[in-house]
Structure 1
Amino acid sequence: MSVIRSHIPLRWWYFIGMLLISLGSMQKANAAPQHALTLYGEPPKYPENFSHFEYVNPDAPKGGVMRQAGIGSFNTLNPFINKGVAAENIELLYDTLTKNSQDEAFTVYGLLAERIEKAPNNRWVRFYLRPEAKFHDGQPVTAEDVAFSFEILTTQGAPQYRAYYADVERVVVESKSRVRFEFKHGGNRELPLILGQLPVLPKHWWENREFNSGSMEPPLGSGPYRVERVDPGRSIHYARVPDYWGKDLAVNRGLDNFDRLIFDYYLDTDIALQAFKAGKFDYWLEIMAKNWATAYDIDAVRSGKIKREELPNHNPSGMQGFIFNTRRPQLQDRRVREALSLLFDFEWANQRLFNNAYTRTISYFDNSELASSGLPSPEELKLLEPLRAQIPPEVFEQPFVLPVTQGNGIIRDQQRRAYQLLTQAGYRVENDQMVNAQHQPLVLEFLLTQAGFERILLPYKRNLADLGIELNIRRVDISQYINRLRSRDYDMIVSGFSQSNSPGNEQREYWHSSTADNPGSRNFIGLKSPAIDQLVDQLIQSDSRAELVTRTRALDRVLLWGYYVIPNWHIKTWRVAYWNHLDRPAVTPLYDIGLRGWWYKASPAQPAQEP
């Protein structure tokens, strides 16, 4: 991908303008620069002169400290590379070209970019930078910085940047404040919007440093916070930038209200929860249903010092599950993966371990209109029929369902069906072990970093053992876990594929063959399927919301019938607990908790200070 600097004489602009007029029969004149972009050209929710987002308090007081927990450790302040574990919230140092609103499916508003201009044929997007935008050292943010950021992220950054921006042909620096991205084709509607998410790095700071190495040197940014203090692996402190250039923009009003943010690291979530209840930090997002039901019966909650709330979550749930690494020989047969899936008793776990708090996930896009159900529609069949020879026949023949048990721990029907499938795949039982034709036992290792998940896996381990399958649960620290994830050294893991209401380029990172061999990509499954590649490409090239829904459902069906994961569960709320010296806006955004809009509630007797 090349970067071009353009210095065109004024007389040539006249010629180019006349040329565009002469091409009027083929395409409309360029749209005027806008304050916002939407995916399909629909009007944005907020007009050009809006003062703030609806989900913030524009008069929120500034000050105080917010303390949060990090889990495990960290060893780098560079979140953009495929080395090390980055510190929590380090992205707060960096501004992006645009900012997403959190109450629209996918709309971006100018941040570093004051205006955005998109070609009618979607072959390029141009960003006009704000003249007041500057880095923390006072240097202006320029188009050269944007081009540098794109170049270094896609050549030396983590693999997801190359996949995410794969359809960009070149970057053209038109002037100090104007930059244009040209595309390989016009079929990727999402590309102009996701280019707005590009973090802009200071070229003058990085050009004399080695980008692709982990470093604990506090980096230079342009965002609302800077690094104040670092205790490597144990804590990081951020300080709000008092003269932050963007503090009065409509997209920032009411946000980033704490003078300081502190992240202290804990060995695991169980220890962190106890520290939270003891007042060691201020805010906790609870992910364990058992804890939510039983762990908060304490004086601080009863007296109101700790508040507990369930905030509605309108995002697609995505897919959390036990993920199979199909790079492993024993997991390449779909029948084996289906058999292993049958032996997870969700109903028992939900009753005994989760207080019936969860719903079983039955789609990669659950909790949204994007989820498939029933048999394929005629529109989906137009996409699926050409792929019939490459995808499971059940896609066309029956709705995808997961087994439902009585929740009493007895799963004989599932065990019989699993044994049948394993026999068809060439396995048999010898000396109480499930072995293949080469007499190799079916042994799996489940790589884990969360201690709390062991209690969920132990019943599953017993169900597998009943059929002679050995499951070894191996828990490692976060650094080991990430290293093994990047080197694909695992049989099974528990993880997820988060989704938005407008899925797009990130689907390449999850399922496309081009990412399967990239260390650090989120293609945890190791998928290399031409049929899935085609469905992903079609999804990205959708031209309307209706087309996007149809293409997402078709992809969903093929993924489900591949049995690449054992689906877990989801809940339609965020469970948050926080000490009552924090306050939050009256309106919660549809698609986020909105934590950046919270503030410190100091009383006259208790002035804002570091606890």
Structure 2
Amino acid sequence: MRNFLVLAAALTLAAPSAPSAPPRAAEPAHGLATHGAPALPRDFDHFPYADPQAKKGGRLRVGLPGTFDSLNPFNLKSGSAAQGLVGNVFQGMMARSADEPFTLYPLIARSIDIDPARTKIVFHLDPRAHFSDGEPITSEDVLFSFDLLKGKGRPQQRIAYGLVKSITAPDAHTVAYDLAGVDDRELPLILAIMPVLPKHATDVEHFSDATLAKPVGSGPYVIQDAQAGARVLLKRDPNYWGADVPSQRGFYNFDEIDIQYFRDGNSLFEAFKAGLVDFREETSTTRWSTGYDFPALRDGRMAKEALRNESPKGLNGFVFNTRRALFKDARLREAFGMMFDFEWINASYYAGLYTRTKSFFDESELSSSGRPASEKERKLLAPFPGAVRADIMAGEWRPPVSDGSGRDREMAKRALALLADAGYRVEGDRLTKDGEPVSFEIMVKDRDQERLALSYASSLSRIGVEARVRLVDEVQYQRRRQKFDFDMMIGQYLASASPGNEQRMRWGSSSATQESSFNLAGASSAAIDALIAALLAAQSQDDFVTAVRAYDRVLLSGFYLVPLFHASEQWIAHSTDIARPERLPRYGAPLFGPTLESWWRKNP
């Protein structure tokens, strides 16, 4: 990477009697990328997918599913925190561009120094930066935030920040991290997006608690009002210090953002149809194919669009909690996966609009599907014989394809044959092992998940498996998820063009026993850990792609979940009173944040 501090290679020559001039350091870097150099030049004016001429003003009305009981998105209870606070209220030292896999540009930090090996990074803070209460942001706030989140933050923050050897503040506007021995090229970026919290206005003693106290942040909005589980009203801070920082130009264009929560998906859709909500991301194929025929859409007050970009498609699926004895055998997990009849479900429930997901990074260069393992991949995998199945190594594996009847006998025979190899047999109408019938619970949180789970449970019953579906409310769902108190649940593994440290919390061995981690499956594998380390240490994009593909193969070979499906496009509908830039971000996933940072109201 070329955007770091280097020393001049030669000394200025002088007369023999004169001393040599000292080495001259290169100019501090204006950006930081995981691999390669930032795409934008030092003097860039704005991100390519933002419009600096966008109109300012008006109110955006957002509808979100679910509920919330806290305004702190950074502690262990953050699963139930209000959305839309990160970016709007809280900001980090640098801002991420969604037009590149993982590249950051100045925000609170106006520049950085970093060495080629990434053993040290120095942030130079912008002296103009201040919190919403007018207090300046100093290096003391950065050190405070680091220590607080390392001790009381979310699990992924604790793990990442725990890798730092030391952090110092030479002066009020300089922060230096020592990363010697870490060998993690992404860690400097993780530190750069760490939220900067105000030391003078943060309740450390109660930081771990859910709270509705209005926080002090450094972003473009402040919280005007908050009603637990129902509403958050954000109001533009007229004194926002960063409005003219290039990474912020063209964003945050509404004077107010009214975020309303709906416990029921149908109620949220009806509110949109009635014009009470301005924007909607549609996830229901039934509604998308048949539900958008209402007056506001017909007369042009609303519009719908199907958009796509280059971001990988992640993998959703029924996750096996391998902490349970029943699910420790991969042969059983694979056999149960055979009983998910995607072809019938897609035709019967989803108007044929979905595609079966076959990789954790589908529809991207990071996917292993359809690609035989390269020699470089095989070298990475060599220390772990048996970690990847032969068909997955060859890129030939796909999720099973049924005859679409909903009662594919051949698929059931294949599943039972595999189960027999694992020591199971059918006695009467029940699948058993050592005389014990097989049964488990599928935890779901809404009616859509319930319908899908009931269909899957019905298919499993055909091979003698009793799968009970239990619908729980959002709060109970999050608490049980955080404590791994479930047999099976639907997991959502969002993918980016730059997978990195978050993979430790999803699949790393250390997270398998860490409460509130996202290692839902309880995976604990030396091969997985080694490949996460390899993708984090990759020096080039080619090495990175190699490591991610090998990682994808190991995850697929574990059969930790039953792959579901995805839409290759993002479906949105919105009021025609709001507008967006024509240029879309290349890697936004989703394309727009929950509060539409790049949009504006046409007539504010």
Match of 1:376 in 2: 373
- What displacement does 1:168 show? 1.5
How far apart, in 2, do the equivalents of 1:506 and 1:460 lie?
A: 29
Equivalent residue for 1:401, pick from 398, 401, 413: 398
- The reply to whether residue 98 of structure 1 matches residue 94 of structure 2 is yes
Name the amino acid aligned to 1:153: L
Q: Are positions 1:39 and 2:34 aligned together?
A: yes
1:252 is aligned, of 243, 248, 251, to 248
Q: CA deviation at 1:210?
A: 2.1
Structure 2 equivalent of residue 12 of structure 1: none
- After TM superposition, the runs of 4+ consecutive aligned structure 1 residues lying more than 3 A away are 28-32, 389-398
Cα distance change, pair 374–77 in 1 and its aligned pair in 2 (3 A): same
Which residue of the partner structure matches residue 583 of structure 2?
587
1:275 alignment counterpart: 271
> Which residue, out of 472, 476, 481, partners 1:476?
472
How far 1:29 sits from its partner (Å)?
Answer: 8.3
Distance in 1 between residues matched to 2:143 and 2:71, nearest whole Å: 22
Q: Which moved more, 1:546-555 or 1:49-58?
A: 49-58
Equivalent AA in structure 1 for residue 602 of structure 2: K
Which position in structure 2 is the counterpart of 1:575?
A: 571
How far is 1:540 from its partner? 1.1
Partner of 1:597: helix, strand, or coil?
coil
State the Cα distance separating 1:396 from its structure 2 match.
Answer: 4.8
Deviates more, 1:352-361 or 1:133-142: 352-361
Q: CA deviation at 1:172?
A: 1.0
Query: Is this contact kept in 2: 1:72–1:477, CA < 8 A?
Result: no
How big is each residue's C-alpha offset from its partner over 1:446-472, in whole Å with a ceiling of 9 and x where there is no partner? 111121122222222211111111111
CA drift of 1:45 comes to: 2.1
Q: Distance in 2 between matches of 1:122 and 1:408?
A: 56
Alignment check: 8 A CA contact 1:29 1:120 kept: no
Question: Partner residue of 1:52?
Answer: 46
Identify which range, 502-511 or 484-493, moves more after superposition: 502-511
Q: Does 1:494 align with 2:494?
A: no
TM-score w.r.t. the length of structure 2 is: 0.92
Change (3 A) 1:428 1:318: same
Q: Structure 2: which amino acid aligns with 1:239?
A: K
Q: Secondary structure at the match of 1:291?
A: helix
Gaps of 5+ in 2: 1-6, 12-22
- What CA deviation, in whole Å up to 9, does each residue of 1:316-339 have, x standing for no partner? 111111111111111111011001
Distance 2:550 2:578 in 1: 44
Which structure 2 residues correspond to residues 22-37 of structure 1 after superposition, within 5 A? 31-37=26-32
Farther-moved stretch of structure 1 (515-524 vs 373-382) = 373-382
Q: CA deviation at 1:183?
A: 0.8
Q: Deviations over 1:403-423 (max 9, x none)?
A: 112322231111001111112
Whole-Å separation in 2 of the counterparts to 1:382 and 1:278: 58
User: Is structure 2 residue 559 aligned with structure 1 residue 559?
Assistant: no
* Corresponding letter in the other structure for 1:482: Q
Question: Residue type of the partner of 1:571?
Answer: A
Contact 1:270–1:452 (Cα < 8 Å) also in 2: no
Q: Which moved more, 1:385-394 or 1:323-332?
A: 385-394
Q: Deviations over 1:22-57 (max 9, x none)?
A: xxxxxx986531111122232x22211121122112
* CA distances 1:466-505 after superposition (whole Å, capped 9, x unpaired): 1111111111111000000011011111121112112211
Given candidates 139, 147, 161, the residue that maps to 2:135 is: 139
Superposed displacement of residue 384, structure 1:
1.3
Q: Distance in 2 between matches of 1:174 and 1:106?
A: 28
Contact 1:390 1:531 in 2 (8 A): yes
Q: Contact between 1:167 and 1:188, CA under 8 Å: does it hold in 2? A: no
- Picking from 223, 226, 237, the partner of 1:230 is 226
Given that 2:132 and 2:217 are in contact with CA atoms closer than 8 Å, whether structure 1 keeps it comes out as yes
The equivalent position to 1:425 in structure 2, one of 410, 422, 426, is: 422
Distance 1:568 1:254 in 2: 37
> Counterpart of 1:76?
70
Aligned to 2:14: none
Residue 213 of structure 1: aligned partner: 209
Give yes or no for the alignment of 1:300 onto 2:300.
no
Aligned residue among 153, 160, 165 for 2:149: 153
Paired residues of 2:373 and 2:395 also in contact (CA < 8 A): no
Give yes or no for contact 1:167–1:185 (8 Å, CA) kept in 2.
no
Counterpart secondary structure, 1:471? strand
The alignment yields a C-alpha RMSD, in angstroms, of 1.9
User: In structure 1, how many angstroms separate the alpha carbons of the residues matched to 2:292 and 2:45?
Assistant: 39
Q: For 2:194 and 2:139, locate their aligned partners in 1 and report how far apart those are by CA, in whole Å.
A: 12
Q: Which residue of 2 aligns with 1:88?
A: 83
Aligned position for 1:601: 602
- 2:55 aligns with 61
- What is the SS of the residue equivalent to 1:415? helix
State the 1:366 CA deviation: 0.7
Aligned length: 578
- Alignment CA distance shift 1:433-1:209 (3 Å): same
Shift in alpha-carbon separation, 1:112–1:472, aligned structure 2, 3 A: same
* Deviation sequence 1:532-561 (CA, Å, 0-9, x none): 111111121111111111111111111111
Name the CA distance, whole Å, in 1 between partners of 2:128 and 2:476. 43
Report the counterpart of residue 7 of structure 1 in structure 2.
none
Q: Distance between the aligned counterparts of 2:431 and 2:314, measured in 1?
A: 33
